[in-house]
Amino acid sequence: MDLPSTRYATTADGVHIAYQVAGEGPFDLVYVPGWISNVDLGWDLPHHGPFLRRLASIARLIVFDRRGSGVSDRPPKEESLALEYGIDDIRAVMEAAGSDRAVIFGFEDGGILSAVFAASYPERVQALVLFASWARYHWAPDYPWGYNEGEITEFGWHIEREWGTEAFWRYNLQAVAPSMVENDAFVREWTRYSRLCASPSAIVAIERALREVDARAVLPTVQVPTLVLHREDDRSEPVDQSRWIAGQIPGANLLVLPGEEHPPFIGDSERVIAELERFVAAIREEESAFDRALVTVLFTDIVGSTERAVSLGDRGWHELVDRHNATVRAMLARYRGREVDTAGDGFFATFDGPARAIRCASAIAEAVRTLGIEIRAGLHTGEVEWRGDDVRGIAVHIGARVGALAGPSEVLVSQTVKDLVAGSGLVFEDAGGHELKGVPDRWRLYRVVG
């Protein structure tokens, strides 16, 4: 894969955020990194680079450096490193990348940022995936997983004295990725990467901003489908935090993965990809079902239209069609039908009630006779898929085929429609079994007689 080109999005407060778009998968995926990143170098980093490539193989991946890190701006005021400003980094990047809606995958404090973003802009978030996240930095009686003062001081000491050296990562990796502590090449690469993510003062400012984070109140307001992932033996951030977070977000799914590595890209990263893919597939399946509905479809068209057009001439025929259309539309309005399409002299409409649809068809057939023309009409009820104002589905084909079989001033319906309107007072006559072109099975049709 070629390395994607780096571009800049600008936030509302004027901070330039570096981002990249990679891959062409069926959904947009925004990867929100932890405290530091560098989009230009992340692709070459062992474990991290291959993980990004895998994400780009299943989705249209959007990566960025959060304000203060990597090749994004250091905001002029340190206060604007605060978490609430960070959500605008995601918004600006999605807008610049042309993404209206995406799955947001957030790692560690990137997860908190993602959750706050999802709570603020639910319409932009298809699903939220949190990996090894936490909700509050400091220990509190009701948040026992936070760091106590001693731990914060110790971590601060390592950052101030050792940032940019291998010593820092040999210390930090003991908790974050124990399997990597003795891996000299990894430590060397990671040390260099971290220098290119943040300078010594920049990392102090980033860590200071993290200390203020307490996003607990936001979690119950997250309304998007959420998957919470955490490795069971993570020594850096205890898994119980994710258990708690999953309990706070309504309907969130928790999945505890085996292993001790804190980052998703170290250890069994394939499992992470698989769970992400599975979750997103289920969400997309569920969403496509939202757009399915049971409707009654009505197809009408003018009988002998070609002959009438020839005998009336273009102008006379167009006038007649206009009057016919006006009549059909008046009846659709009266019987609460929804016009989907008009092709030449035919109409395709949907109804949410089959009896009303039949009465509308009969009323149209009756009304257009005063214009000296006759229509044929066919109805069927079935599940269809709405795509904006368009309707698709096998039920549409069946309705069209039933309509084509009707004679002049005849309203034909499928067995399904007849069964649904039992007790409505409508009277039917058997119109025999028929093959419907392109549709399996034989279909028994009924003629409306009163």
Partner 1 sequence: MDVPETRYAKTADGVHVAYQAVGAGPVDLVFVMGWTTNIEAMWEEPNLARFSGAWPRSPV
Binding site for partner 1 (CB under 8 A): 163-164, 192, 195-196, 199-201
**Residues written for the chain:** 450
Q: Please identify, using beta-carbon distances, which residue of 99 and 165 lies nearer to partner 1.
A: 165
- Residue 41 CB, shortest distance to partner 1, in Å, is 9
Complex with partner 1: residue 153 or 199, whichever CB lies closer: 199
Alpha helices by DSSP H, 177-304 = 184-197, 200-211, 240-248, 269-290
Nearest approach in angstroms of CB 139 to partner 1 is 30
* Sequence-separated (6 or more) residues with CB below 8 Å from residue 417: 296, 354, 357, 358, 379, 380, 381, 446
Q: How far is the CB of 181 from partner 1 (least distance, A)?
A: 20
Cβ closest to partner 1, residue 196 vs residue 303:
196
Amino acid identity, position 145: W
Nearest Cα neighbor of 228 from 207, 245, 206 is: 245
Question: CB of 192: closest distance to partner 1 in angstroms?
Answer: 6
The pair of structure tokens assigned to 173 is: 């990796």
179/199 with CB nearer partner 1: 199
Of 195 and 329, which CB lies nearer to partner 1 in the complex structure? Answer: 195
Using CA atoms, how far apart are residues 283 and 122, in angstroms rounded to an integer? 14
How far apart (Å, rounded) are the C-alpha atoms in residues 238 and 427?
A: 69
Tell me the H-state helices in 291-374. Answer: 305-334, 354-369
Give the nearest distance from C-beta 40 to partner 1 in angstroms: 9
Nearest to 366 by CA among 417, 404, 331, 316: 331
Q: How far is the CB of 42 from partner 1 (least distance, A)?
A: 14
**Minimal distance in Å, beta carbon 168 to partner 1?**
12
**CB-nearer residue toward partner 1: 160 or 291:** 160
Look up tokens 């549709």; give the residue.
439
User: Quick one: DSSP state of residue 384?
Assistant: E
- Cβ atoms of 384 and 400 within 8 Å: the answer is no
* Cβ proximity to partner 1, 68 vs 259, nearer residue: 68
